[in-house]
Amino acid sequence: MDQQEDNRPRSFAGKALAWYPKAAISSGIMEALVAHKDAKLDKRILKLVRLQASFTAACPFCIDMNFHEYEQYGITADEISALQGRIEIDEVKTFSRREKIAMEYAQLISHAPLSFPPSFIEKLKASFTEREIVILASTAAQVNYWARLLQALGVPPAGFSERCELRSTEL
């Protein structure tokens, strides 16, 4: 492993993708096109979706990347605990109804096999426009793309944030 002067491992994402430039280019294009804000989907809801997908996919690099500066989006410690599954999302009164539905959608997109109960889809369609649903789905799917690619390549967290907390999945 390459090491930085402070002995943290360097990010290998760019180095690993350099072995196959088409993957690097297509990944970069996808990253450049993903939504970070929208007229009705503010930065906070998209950050919550990215964080929820990161925690659900249990991707250390993704959590590290998306955890960075979460406070700037008004996300509280209790909200982070809910995203991590440490407390029930419904126990956190600061989430809006739309945020809860968007986070649930990110969870469903991030689980395998994919399953979207009709009752959830009805709730989703009642709360979001078709355009917003596409933005939410593509945002969560983009995190899942990176989660699977980077974990498959063994890419460690890059040190974007001070924390990279994963809830233990051991029984």
For residue 73, is it within any domain? yes
pLDDT tens for 27-69 read 888 877 777 777 778 899 999 999 999 999 999 888 988 888 8
For residue 7, is it within any domain? no
Domain containing residue 67: CATH number: 1.20.1290.10
For residue 139, is it within any domain? yes
Cβ 163 vs Cβ 52: under 8 Å: no
Average pLDDT over every residue of 71-96: 93
pLDDT tens for 127-138 read 999 999 999 999
**Does the pLDDT at position 1 exceed 50?**
no
Cα gap 97→63, rounded to integer Å: 24
The 3-class secondary structure across 91-151, one letter per residue, is HCCCCCHHHHHHHHHHHHHHCCCCCCCHHHHHHHHHHCCHHHHHHHHHHHHHHHHHHHHHH
Domains in the chain: how many in total?
A: 1
Cα gap 46→44, rounded to integer Å: 5
Averaged confidence pLDDT in the chain: 84
What token pair was written down for 144?
Answer: 């899942």
Residues of the domain holding 59: 36-152
Report CA dihedral (48, 50, 56, 61) to the nearest 10 degrees.
-130
For residue 31, is it within any domain? no
Residues 6+ apart with CB under 8 A from 171: none
For residue 86, is it within any domain? yes
For residue 1, is it within any domain? no
Cα gap 66→61, rounded to integer Å: 9
For residue 6, is it within any domain? no
For residue 59, is it within any domain? yes
